[in-house]
Structure 1
Amino acid sequence: MKQSLVLNKVSDLVGTKSIFGKFKIGSFKFDGNKILRKFLIPALSILLFVGLWHTGSKALFQMEADYKIEKALTDQGREAAEAMQACIASGDVSCQPNTLPSPSQVWQSLQSLIADHKVISADKKAFAEKTAGINAKREAEGKAPITYTGRPSFVDQIFTSLKTVFAGFLLALIIAVPIGIVIGLSPVLRSSFNWLIQIFKPVSPVVWLLLVFMIVKTMTKDSNSDSAFIISFISVGLCAMWATLVNTAMGVSSVDKDYINVAKVLKLRPLQKVFKVILPSSLPLIFTGLRITLSVAWMVLIAIELLAQSPGLGSFVWEEFQNGAIDSNSKIIVAMFVIGIIGFLLDRLMLTIQNMVSFNKNDAI
């Protein structure tokens, strides 16, 4: 009897059911299937991805190493081939195959970039302290302060890209939502401007960049970093705004006619009708457009920064590609993961805001 009581107590503490069903540990209840779906399977998929990546990078490394040894044998003879083989085995940077980096190499590059950011941040702080008195005197005389002109760190470039994409997204929001509401309210305007939307929507970000470059350079007569930032965020906004414009127009035009009739009965003024009836009903589609716009803005930003020579992740990737150092490939992969993770977080941010302001809750992928 005592043994049975002890076993029951242990059973209550450990769990009442299999991990694939509902169970509890002490006073805490868990859903095994949910844990499996949300945590265990994603963790296993990550391990599988890293394993395949490691295996692939090792195979590519060996292929490139064999090619270098074979080339040395063909061009310079057996001694050169043996020297090349020994050099590769020693890990000497001068002769290592430059191919897809392994997960451990990418991790080392990430740590190197973080350490580099700390050094640059310390340099900036020292520079600010050194020039504080001089800058105070220059500002009192009405002169521009002396600014730090050293290279930005990887983290600085991330924040520059985020600033650019949010400025471009805000521009797209300001342009696309009002125009989408106006077009959505009028079937005549929808048919009149449909051709313009269909022509400009698929235009490449490179073309938008060149168009904005022509206009901004003509107006500012300047080529500094502020001008590059202006060109970048305007190009991003113009390239990414079309999804919001189309979805806003579609959302407004598809508002239930009963709601419109109620607004007429209540004798709401046009602006009241827009803000109290049409916009709340259109929010799900508008936010779908905004999510697409933000994703497109983040995607095209890298190419635009690269071409506009604006500081950011795009220029970082291009500089590392041009650099051709032994760790350049690893740093490019680090940037790729950072770009993807930030893009995912931006999408989750928009989804959270949508669920906060909309009646239709969404748990989309």
Structure 2
Amino acid sequence: MKDKSIHILNFVGLGFFEPAIRLAAGEEVKKNIIALLKKVLLPIVSVGLFLIIWHSGATYLYNVEKDARIEKALADRGEAAALEMETCIDSGDISCQPNTLPSPAQVWTAYKSLLVDHRVISEKKDAFSEKVAATNAKRKAQGLAPIKYTGRPSFVDQIFTSLKTVFAGFLLAFLIAVPIGIMLGLSTTLRSSVNWLIQIFKPVSPVVWLLLVFMIVKTLTKNSDSDSSFIISFISVGLCSMWATLVNTSMGVSSVDKDYINVAKVLQLSVGQKVFKIILPSSFPLIFTGLRITLSVAWMVLIAIELLAQSPGLGSFVWEEFQNGANDSNSKIIVAMFVIGIIGFLLDRLMLTIQKFVTFTEETA
């Protein structure tokens, strides 16, 4: 059981919990306590230190903004107005609170309010679905589109929209980059011929890709009921992020051991057999390294692309809160920042796990 648990943790990239498993089994207590302190407890201490620094910084900025508001009131309207402003701020009245870097407690409160908001919106959706169920059944029988809920999406809904967009973009990047990478890797002439194209387009900004995709999609979907913002977003994400997979696939295929190629010739394997039985299995480590980078890049550029394409995801949520300027908007933006980071980490762990299933490597990076 112990060895199986350790193997699973290492397999999914969580090997830093191994000392805790060994310690629970009573194995080399002193050695595993030290390892546990280094791998688990010290990171927890660093999290606590981070929260203390964050709270101190937020408090300092709050006091700076508070003093600035009081001084402005004093300069503009006199001592009575300054005293009134100070009293209002100290009372906790939302209307006069300094709008600056939120504290950890404020961010936690904003996180809970977003979950409450999600539950309220979910209840509204359920009530709407029940209300129009009979009507939608009639419309379906008539071959008409159902009536859909068009209210404001919740924060959780926007997370799932972003995940749907990033996986669609990642799939597009995979379908484009891997076949082209294989062809480039198999032919030195072809690789040298189009290398200039890769080097030019690889560093192009996500904004430029978005504008290019916008021109094409808007033309093709004119007078169409399709969700053009989603289409624009995922295509832009795919085109921005595919280059690491393309380059790594080409490198992996071109660097396959020549002895394997010679064996394929001796066995008189067809081109398809050579690719799927010899070249691809040998290239998987580099290909999956490229895919991990592609997924990370896709998740990073997604926020900016959603913001500009007005797709209802996390990018749109962050921009709306920034423009909203409400007292808790900054806290909600920080919540989104942590959610984006955690999801990015989990996506990388997911790709690492799939890589180990396919390549049988023991990589833990």
TM-score normalized with structure 2 length: 0.92
Q: Aligned pair in 2 of structure 1 residues 46, 201: CA closer, same or farther (>3 Å)?
A: same
- Equivalence map 1:332-351=2 (5 Å): 332-351=333-352
Deviation at 1:223, TM superposition (A): 7.7
Larger RCO (CA under 8 A, 6+ residues apart): 2
Quote the residue 2:6 is aligned against: none
For residues 249 and 139 of structure 2, the distance between their equivalents in structure 1, rounded to whole angstroms, comes to 50
Quote the residue 1:228 is aligned against: 229
Listed one character per residue, the Cα deviations across residues 186-223 of structure 1 (whole Å, up to 9, x for unaligned) are 00011001000000000001111111111111111058
Quote the residue 1:121 is aligned against: 122
Deviation at 1:342, TM superposition (A): 0.3
Q: Is the 8 A contact 2:249 2:286 kept in 1?
A: yes
For residues 194 and 260 of structure 1, the distance between their equivalents in structure 2, rounded to whole angstroms, comes to 24
For residues 21 and 337 of structure 1, the distance between their equivalents in structure 2, rounded to whole angstroms, comes to 27
Q: Is the 8 A contact 1:21 1:33 kept in 2?
A: no
For residues 22 and 152 of structure 2, the distance between their equivalents in structure 1, rounded to whole angstroms, comes to 55
Ranges of 4+ aligned residues in structure 1 off by more than 3 Å: 20-30, 222-225
Quote the residue 1:11 is aligned against: none
Listed one character per residue, the Cα deviations across residues 168-191 of structure 1 (whole Å, up to 9, x for unaligned) are 000000000000000001000110
Deviation at 1:22, TM superposition (A): 11
For residues 22 and 211 of structure 2, the distance between their equivalents in structure 1, rounded to whole angstroms, comes to 60
Deviation at 1:113, TM superposition (A): 0.2
Quote the residue 2:172 is aligned against: 171
Structure 2: which 5+ residue stretches go unaligned?
1-18
For residues 186 and 23 of structure 1, the distance between their equivalents in structure 2, rounded to whole angstroms, comes to 50
Amino acid in structure 1 at the alignment position of 2:80: E
What secondary structure is seen at the aligned counterpart in 2 of 1:33?
helix
Deviation at 1:64, TM superposition (A): 0.4
For residues 23 and 36 of structure 2, the distance between their equivalents in structure 1, rounded to whole angstroms, comes to 13
For residues 165 and 22 of structure 1, the distance between their equivalents in structure 2, rounded to whole angstroms, comes to 35
Deviation at 1:29, TM superposition (A): 5.9
Deviation at 1:282, TM superposition (A): 0.7
Deviation at 1:32, TM superposition (A): 1.6
Q: Is the 8 A contact 1:180 1:245 kept in 2?
A: yes
Listed one character per residue, the Cα deviations across residues 150-178 of structure 1 (whole Å, up to 9, x for unaligned) are 00000000000000000000000000000
Quote the residue 1:15 is aligned against: none
TM-score normalized with structure 1 length: 0.92
Quote the residue 2:292 is aligned against: 291
Listed one character per residue, the Cα deviations across residues 98-143 of structure 1 (whole Å, up to 9, x for unaligned) are 0000000000000000000000001100110111001101111222
Q: Aligned pair in 2 of structure 1 residues 298, 26: CA closer, same or farther (>3 Å)?
A: closer
Quote the residue 2:269 is aligned against: 268
Quote the residue 1:149 is aligned against: 150
RMSD in angstroms over aligned alpha carbons? 1.7
Q: Is the 8 A contact 1:22 1:32 kept in 2?
A: no
For residues 359 and 23 of structure 2, the distance between their equivalents in structure 1, rounded to whole angstroms, comes to 35
- Equivalence map 1:102-113=2 (5 Å): 102-113=103-114
Q: Aligned pair in 2 of structure 1 residues 225, 29: CA closer, same or farther (>3 Å)?
A: farther
Deviation at 1:233, TM superposition (A): 0.3
Q: Is the 8 A contact 2:249 2:287 kept in 1?
A: yes
